[in-house]
Structures are given as structure tokens and as C-alpha cells.
Amino acid sequence: AQSVTQPDARVTVSEGASLQLRCKYSYFGTPYLFWYVQYPRQGLQLLLKYYPGDPVVQGVNGFEAEFSKSNSSFHLRKASVHWSDWAVYFCAEGNMGYKLTFGTGTSLLVDP
Amino acid sequence: DMKVTQMPRYLIKRMGENVLLECGQDMSHETMYWYRQDPGLGLQLIYISYDVDSNSEGDIPKGYRVSRKKREHFSLILDSAKTNQTSVYFCASSFTGENTLYFGAGTRLSVL
């Protein structure tokens, strides 16, 4: 069965510092991978998505993610974190079907 | 305006009562979803609907049923709610075959 692992339940970074949120997937075929963000008291919003091709994908608000088949990973990065990035980030995997498998989420806290 | 609307936003029910959660979308998406979100578990798929009267169980359908009589509207029903159904419920929608989901803001249900 497919699974998505986000090993860090909570990450704290200082404003202006760089960020990496980790994601590992277990699908053995060609994965379609996503990062969603959930701001307080809101639903999830798509940050970026990977369809097979360029391993580095750009998203909104300066986020990017890099796909690695050898490491089964799809880590999210941002060069300089802003206080407004304080949210919960979910990694998800879907094989172009109807169902997404979500990770358990990583809470990002930003120190001013 | 692309929107998924969930009603109500907050709901308190007693154990054994029936619960109706409603979801609407204005994007003419064929596919709609119900997820529940619990701490440490991420999002779990309850039901998926491919179109009117074309519904399929997700990963945790037990204790829930759904109804979709119009493409823009998808209901989640809990017959005789249980305390372990206390959760935040999210509705989402997408075009057929698309993994980009649009989420509502969620319904926080407490079953006492």
C-alpha cells in the first residue's frame, strides 16, 4: 500500500532563515507528488505539484520541492521564511487516479 | 469565484444523534471527497464521489454514508453519531483524473 511519511511533526525556524520540510513516499511506480499548506482554521491549499519531468518544481510564495527517486523523497524548501508561512504542511502522493494519500503533516512555527 | 463551501463550520451533537454535513462547490467538478483530520493521523479519506449517484468507499467508510444528487453538492451523513467521530471534516473537489484538490474550510464536529 502507498504511504507518505513526514518524519517531523513540528519544525521551528527563525524568520529569514531557510527551510526544509521532509517527505518520503513508498510508491514503487511513477509517483505524482504534492505539497499542500493549511493555514489556521482553513482548508488545505495546493503549494506545488510534481508530475514526472524536471525533478525541481516551483510553487507559490517562493516554495520549491525536489523529487529524488533514489531516496524516495520529495522535500519542500524555501530560501527565506516569512512569518506568514506559519502553517501546517502536508505532503501527498497520487498516481494520477482519484485518491491522494496524505502524510501526517508538519507544523511550521516561525520565530520572529 | 472558485470555492468549496462547507456548512456548518462548527457542530456539537450528542452520541446517538444523526449528523448531516453539507458541501457545495461552484467549479463544476465531477469528483468530490470527504476526509476527516485527526491529530497525528493527517487526512483520511472517508468517501469519494465520481459524479451524481456514483459514490465509492474510501479508507474509513464505517459509520458514514454519503449522498450526491446534484453535481455541485455532496453530503456526509452520520447515523447515530459516536464519540470517536469527533473530528474535523473536510470536503474537497477536483476535475476527473486531476489530483489537484480544492478544499473547503472544514467542519469541526464534537460528539459528546
Give, for all 112 residues of chain A, the pLDDT tens digit: 678 999 999 999 999 999 999 999 987 777 889 999 999 888 899 999 998 889 999 999 999 999 999 999 999 999 999 999 999 999 999 865 567 889 999 999 999 8
pLDDT at residue B98 greater than cutoff 80 = no
pLDDT computed for residue A97 by the predictor: 58
Over residues B23-47, mean pLDDT = 93
| Residue of A43, A45, A94 lying closest to B99 (CB–CB) | A94
pLDDT at residue B22 greater than cutoff 60 = yes
> Quick check: B40 and A90 CB within 8 A?
no
Dihedral sign for Cα atoms in the order A5, A9, A13, A15: positive
DSSP for chain B reads: ---EEEE-SEEEE-TT--EEEEEEESS--SEEEEEEEETTTEEEEEEEEEETTEEEE-S--TT-EEEEEETTEEEEEESS--GGG-EEEEEEEE-TT----EE---EEEEE-
Nearest chain A CA: its distance from B49 CA (Å) = 10
| Residue of A34, A43, A104 lying closest to B103 (CB–CB) | A43
pLDDT computed for residue A9 by the predictor: 94
Cβ B35 vs Cβ B109: under 8 Å: no
pLDDT computed for residue B41 by the predictor: 86
Residue of B nearest to A94 (CA): B99
pLDDT computed for residue A1 by the predictor: 66
Q: Is A49 on the interface with B (CB under 8 A)?
A: yes
**CB atoms closer than 10 angstroms to residue B108:** 16
Partners of B73 in beta bridges: B24, B70
Mean pLDDT of chain B, nearest integer: 94
Over residues B25-44, mean pLDDT = 92
Structure confidence by residue, pLDDT tens digits, B40-89: 888 999 999 999 999 999 999 999 999 999 999 999 999 999 999 999 99
pLDDT computed for residue B50 by the predictor: 93
Helices and strands in chain A: count of H runs, count of E runs: 0, 12
| Residue of A32, A90, A104 lying closest to B99 (CB–CB) | A32
With 0-12 / 13-18 / 19 or more C-beta atoms within 10 angstroms meaning exposed / middle / buried, residue B96 is exposed
Over residues B4-32, mean pLDDT = 95
pLDDT computed for residue A2 by the predictor: 73
User: With contacts defined as CB-CB under 8 Å, which chain A residues touch B103?
Assistant: 36, 43-45
Residue A109 carries which DSSP code? E
B105 or A1, greater pLDDT:
B105
Shortest CA distance to B93 belongs to which of B77, B61, B71? B71
A53-67, B13-27, B95-109, range with the lowest pLDDT = B95-109
Length of chain A in terms of residues written: 112
